[in-house]
Structure formats: structure tokens, C-alpha cells
Amino acid sequence: MIKPYGSDTLNPLFVYDPKEHDELMHEAENLPSLMLNSAAAGNAVMLGAGYFNPLTGYMNLADALSVADTMKTTEGLFWPVPILNLTYNIEAIKGAKRIALRDPNVEGHPVLAVQDVEAIEEVSQDELTHMAEKIFGTTDTEHPGVNTFMNLGEFAISGPIQVLSFSYFQTDFPDTFRTAVEIRNEIAERGWKKVVAFQTRNPMHRAHEELCKMAMERTGADGLVIHMLLGKLKPGDIPAPVRDAAIRKMVEIYFPPNSVMVAGYGFDMLYAGPKEALLHAVFRQNMGADVFIIGRDHAGVGDYYGPFEAQEIFDKVPEGALQIEIFKADHTAYSKKLGKVVMMREAPDHTKDDFILLSGTKVREMLAQGIAPPPEFSRPEVAEILMNYYQSLKK
């Protein structure tokens, strides 16, 4: 199996030993507490689950700025985006060497992790703006990622963490949330030799399904992990339980047995386009995937990124940094001429009229009206689940 990123073995920061876990929970009750924001909580979950290997905790300001500027920490580790614990209020933790980090997304705000405080540094507005520009390629606050990032806080609390909970992800998505450790173990149990990973924050239509099959066939893979984001999205995106049901139905009917694992990870969407594509590749290598599909406008939003910027940025990855192979995909669509789904660049003799193309807005309108998109676009069983969801919004 492919090695994790940055180390020979995966080093998840979750405390699995029951005795140590219990002792830390007791200790945390007497430590100064910091209420995390959702972004910092997501970072803790990803660190705990082994997805952010080999990081040991939250970055300090020097590392965050260096990563934003050069995609390397001050010690030279390739990393695409800063992993920060930002806050506005440090009154309760001033002078503390060890603090309890509380979960903003779970009722009662239980302890999520314990952090050794190496530094509490003030981040200037200029530094925040500079990092936003480098991460998102824009400082426009209409961009949902920029808007979130610029409102996380003005103090960076850095230092290693010990993670004690996977937040709401394990309880709300017991059949889907998986750590990088669990996915590696399941790949081994299934006996897969080569694994393709597919990232999604949306239900999968026919083109996505065929793209996954195409990637498996062309790379000689015998396993596919459909890996969905389970954290916070922008308004209007389809909630995770609906996506999960639609994807599982598609896999059950249209993929061979033991060829697909449906799993999810606990993180909020950044909408950082190219930089987020790199982060996605890092943590897919950590979970044991050999190949990662990058399609058009991967992790993008609006018109902030060019259609293939998320593929082109991989040319800037230092030689040998990532072992994972990138499967660069074009827009896929059903060809009326050929009677199958193809990558549009591989059908140069086609015009747009030769494809079945529907905008996301048009599909949502159809589903809301109880009209199934054509079967060449969306499997009828998937469309039914989505229609029921959109109709439920009217009630």
C-alpha cells in the first residue's frame, strides 16, 4: 500500500488508549478552555483522524505565512494551506501552557482536544488578507471561503494537540465517517491492490459514475473510495445524508460487488480551488489511495478559478513530495453520437449539441418540480432520492 504523506507510518493524533483518554478527559475539565470555531474544530478532527499526517498540531504564524506564500513550512515540509487555530478572545487562556479545546458544533460544547500552547500570536489584518489572497486567489468577501477565513479571529494559538473526539461526525454519520486509519485497514481487508479516490460534496450523476469507472480502468485500479465531505457547506448545497443515500444507491446498483467503498471525512469546505485540490491529494495519500481524480474546477466556487487550475497547480508540487498519482479529468457528458459518457476533450468531432448537458440550476429546478433528468444524465434511482429531498423543502 502507498506510504502516508511525510512519514513511513500514519500518526493519527487521536488518543486511542482508553486509560490515557480517560486521564486526559479528567485533566481537561480543570484546564483553561477555548471555544473553537468550526474551521479549527475541523482541523482537529482531520489531525485526529490521521488525514493531516505528518502535522502534530496547529501551525504558528511563521509557518502559516510560509505555507501561504511558498506551500512549505519554515522547515521545508510541503503543505498547501495553513492549518490554524484562530480566535478573537484569549482572555481565558492567557499565560496557559495547556488548554482544553471545546467543540462549537456539539451541544454542551464537550472537549474535542487538549493543546500544548507553544505561542499565542496576534495576526494583523494585513497578514490575514495576505494569507486569504494566497490561499483563495482573491480577497473578495463574496467568496465563501474568504468570508469565513477573514472572520475566524485575530490570534493564532499554535502547538501540538491530542484529540479526544471526532465531534458530531461519528455520531451523525456512523456508517460513513471513517478515519484515514480505518480506510487503510479496510483497503487491506478488501485485498485491493490499487485504489482510486473520488472527492465529492454533491450527489453523483451519471457522468461522475462513468468518470470513476474510466479512472479505474485506465489506471488498473481494483478499488474505488468515494470520499465525501461531511462538514459545513455553503447555503443551497445538498446535505450530507441525502448525498450519502443517493451515492450508496448508485454504488449498489451500478458497480460490481467489492469494488467501491463509500466513506466520508469531517471537515468544512474551504472552496479554495487549486490549493484545496492539493490538500485533498495529501489526505487521500494518507488514507491509502494511489490515484486521485481531479476534474474541472475542483473545489471551486463561482467563477473564481479557471476550469483546469486545480490540475495545473500539481506542476508546482516539489519533485517527490507526493506519491499519489493524479488522474486529470475533463468535463464528462453523455454523447448522443456514441451512446455513452465520454470526456468532452476526447470527442473533438462533437459540438455541444451532441452532448446531453444540463446546468446545476436547471437540474435543481427539474428535481424540485418532480421531473427526473434524462437517464443519460442521472440514474433514475438517484434522481428519485433527490426529487424527494427537493419536494420536502416545499412542505
pLDDT at residue 93, rounded to an integer: 97
Burial class (CB within 10 angstroms; exposed 0-12, middle 13-18, buried 19+) of 384: middle
Torsion sign across C-alpha atoms 25, 27, 29, 34: negative
Per-residue CA distances from 332 to 22, 209, 213, 252, 296 (Å): 50, 10, 12, 22, 9
Q: How far apart are CA 26 and CA 13, in angstroms?
A: 18
- What is the rounded average pLDDT of the residues 347-371? 88
Give backbone dihedrals phi and psi of 283, rounded to 5 degrees, phi first: -80, -15
- What is the rounded average pLDDT of the residues 8-21? 97
**Domains of the chain as residue ranges with CATH:** 18-170 (3.10.400.10), 173-332 (3.40.50.620)
Q: How far apart are CA 364 and CA 366, in angstroms?
A: 5
pLDDT at residue 100, rounded to an integer: 98
- What is the rounded average pLDDT of the residues 217-223? 97
Does the pTM of the predicted model rise above 0.75? Answer: yes
pLDDT at residue 364, rounded to an integer: 84
Q: Which three cell numbers stand for residue 387?
A: 426529487
- What is the rounded average pLDDT of the residues 96-105? 97
- Please, how many CA atoms are within 13 Å of residue 188, restricted to the half-sphere of its CB? 10
Per-residue CA distances from 328 to 91, 297, 331, 340, 360 (Å): 48, 11, 10, 20, 22
- DSSP, residue by residue, 255-313: S-TTSEEEEEE-------THHHHHHHHHHHHHTT-SEEEE-TTTT--TTSS-TTHHHHG
- Give the tens place of pLDDT for each residue, 231-279: 887 777 788 889 999 999 999 999 999 999 999 999 999 999 999 999 9
Q: How far apart are CA 191 and CA 189, in angstroms?
A: 5
Q: Is 152 helix (H, G, I), strand (E, B) or coil?
A: coil
* Residues designated as active site: 201-202
Cβ proximity of 47 and 161 under 8 Å: yes
- Give the tens place of pLDDT for each residue, 47-74: 999 999 999 999 999 999 999 999 999 9
- The share of the chain scoring above pLDDT 90, in percent, equals 88
Q: Which amino acid is located at 350 in the chain?
A: H
pLDDT at residue 289, rounded to an integer: 98
pLDDT mean across residues, the chain: 95
- DSSP, residue by residue, 67-116: HHHHSB-TT--B-SS----EES--GGGTT-SEEEEEPTTSTT--EEEEEE
- Give the tens place of pLDDT for each residue, 295-333: 988 999 999 999 999 999 999 999 999 999 999 998 899
- The share of the chain scoring above pLDDT 70, in percent, equals 100
Which residues does 376 contact at the CB level (< 8 Å), separation at least 6? 206, 334, 336, 341, 356
Is the model's pLDDT at 395 over the cut of 80?
no
pLDDT at residue 293, rounded to an integer: 97
